[in-house]
Amino acid sequence: MSPFFKLLSSVWRYKVYTCLGIFFHILTALLTVISIPLVIPFFQILFGVSPSNYKAPSSIWDLENALNYGFSRLIAMTDHFVALWIICITVVVVFFLKNLCRFLISFFMVHVRNGLLRDLRKSIWLSYESMSLTKRYHHQQGYLMSLITNDLSEVDHGILKVFEMLFKTPLVILGSLIFMLFLNAQLTLIAFALILFTLIVIGGVSRVLKSASLEAQETLSSLTVVTDQYLSGTKIIRTHHADGYFKRKFNEFNERYFKISDRILRRRDLASPLAEFLGVVTIVVLLYFGTHAVFNDEMEPATFFAFIFAFYNIIDPAKSFAREYANVQKGMAALDRITLFNEDVSKDKSYFVGSKTAQFASSLKAEEISFSYDQKEDVLSDVSIEIKPGDRIGLVGTSGTGKTTLIDVILGFFINQNGRLLLDGQPISEYKEDSYRDLFGLISQRTHLFHGSIKDNIVLDKAYDDILLDEVIKQVGLDAAFVDKAVGDQNTMISGGEAQRVSLARLLYRSPKISLLDEPTAQLDSASAAEMMNVIMECTKEKTVIMISHQIPLLKDMDEIWVLNNGKIVDKGQYDSLYDRNVHFRHLVEGTSDLDMG
């Protein structure tokens, strides 16, 4: 099923509003068709037509005679001015009802349109939310922002506005065509052929717009990515004088988008004047053949004017659709991007498929697990570990040896290609994802705080507990008044050390069974780091802790230290025994390791 028809099927979620919208579309179409013959009596009065000129219709299919005869009888039964008043009031009432229906269409259909946009926006968010970290690393942050902003805007302006026309325009055109056929079938076939020719020409002009629009959206997405990277990495960029690099990248994508947009808009702007010209040609042709029909007494002048008015009700929405055709193509390209993104994520099967509740009653064990980011070179290779409740494990090794990756695999963010990860003897995939993740608290290498107060950053989605919050604040050495301070972009309003303390407070407030600490003291000086380590050890008594640190002396009190090298655990033991027997560990402690850095 194409993305457009999937979108069309989504309308059923708003069936009440859609049905009301369709109902008033039908009424609008009927009132539009009813308004067409109302021009006939105006011309009959204007030309002073006598009722004796018309005979009663011979059958119900003789619409022209029926209209002429009926209106002429109305004029004959009253004074011309009274008949004119009646006709004027009738026209006003019909057009008032028609435009009231148009308002009610918008009233109901705008809810459907905005609802579909909301659903698309939600589907993008849910897709990104459910995406595995492995796949997420292949999608840049700016790409998601482009989907939610630029692409949705194109769908709104390109598809959903025209989407509303799909319910009304066909009914108006069908009703007008039926009316025209009853008046003069030959003239109607000529008009239909000319309209078809116009649509074919306009379609040919705009046919390439979809592929060009898709290219434009991809380029705009890249432009968004570059802008996002520049804004988020301002300090590094300015320090390393890399402004020129990002400026060149920005100018490259900006210039490309400029050229593509030029090509698209020129074709789009050609469609409207071309449609208007072809419409005028069509009307001139109809006037020529219609005038011949009037001169040959094949058609009354008043009914010919009604025929032209009916044709206008066809050509005007057709011209509008031609004007919007370019936007439709741009909208379809954007919808294709959104659909492909959602479908790509839907193929990413969830790792957690079970329904068991995680407890961590006996152990968390890895059996010969291996992991690779690119399916070529293993970051982890045949790693086997066992963690029991209350264990305090230190994880050391040079940068790039897989320490953080091991943490991510334990959390279930990355799926190991080989081996098994077991919780209480069962594969972790047998547990509910939320239940499994509730076991853990994490402090990552890069402390990330969100816009809002410090208090909000500590509590996050947990229930407020003022007593617990005050206790945690004191434990990590923060001032009580500090929690009401606001956090700016990139943590710019607090120091690195403060941010790390807030991150620790967040973990302590959560009080998980297993604390995963990835360089929790990296942004603190030696004295503060030692003090923070004492706080961590004190606050995590009888808790399970796995800590990564390059400040290895801080790990002296750990129950066991694991030494990683080239993705493998090469040794385990307590600090003193490792220092005595393992040269790699000794080099790490002394800072003289010549192992590969990554």
- Separation CA 27–CA 98 (nearest Å): 7
What is the DSSP secondary-structure string of 42-92? HHHHHTT--GGG----SSTT-HHHHHHHHHHHHHHHS-HHHHHHHHHHHHH
Q: C-alpha angle with apex 295: 289 to 300, nearest 5 degrees?
A: 90
φ, ψ dihedrals at 366, nearest 5°: -115, 130
- Separation CA 260–CA 216 (nearest Å): 6
Q: Which residue has the tokens 């594969």?
A: 427
Angle, in degrees to the nearest 10, between helices 39-46 and 80-130: 150
- Separation CA 480–CA 173 (nearest Å): 71
Q: What CATH number matches the domain at 14-346, 1.20.1560.10, 1.10.357.10, 1.10.3720.10, 1.10.1200.10?
A: 1.20.1560.10
Element (H, E) at 562: strand 560-565
pTM, two decimals, is 0.67
Residue 229: predicted pLDDT: 75
Element (H, E) at 366: strand 364-371
Closest Cα to residue 68, out of 293, 290, 313, 304? 304
Q: Which residues pair with 431 in a beta bridge?
A: 356
Residue 422: predicted pLDDT: 92
Domain segments of the chain as ranges: 14-346, 364-439+512-590
pLDDT in tens, 262-283: 887 777 777 667 777 777 788 7
Residue 26: predicted pLDDT: 83
Quote the strand ranges of 168-308, DSSP E: none
Residue 239: predicted pLDDT: 63
pLDDT in tens, 22-74: 888 888 888 887 777 776 666 655 555 555 555 555 655 555 556 666 666 66
Block means of pLDDT (10 residues each) for the chain, 598 residues, are: 73 86 84 75 57 56 58 65 76 88 87 87 85 68 77 80 67 78 81 76 63 77 78 67 81 87 76 73 82 79 78 73 68 84 78 86 92 82 92 90 90 83 91 89 81 82 82 83 71 72 86 89 78 80 88 87 91 91 88 43
Residue 365: predicted pLDDT: 93
- Separation CA 434–CA 274 (nearest Å): 59
Domain 364-439+512-590 classification at class level: alpha beta
Angle, in degrees to the nearest 10, between helices 301-346 and 15-35: 160
Hey, what are 125's tokens? 């968010």
The answer to whether 558 touches 565, Cβ cutoff 8 Å, is: no
- Separation CA 336–CA 211 (nearest Å): 11
Residue 395: predicted pLDDT: 93
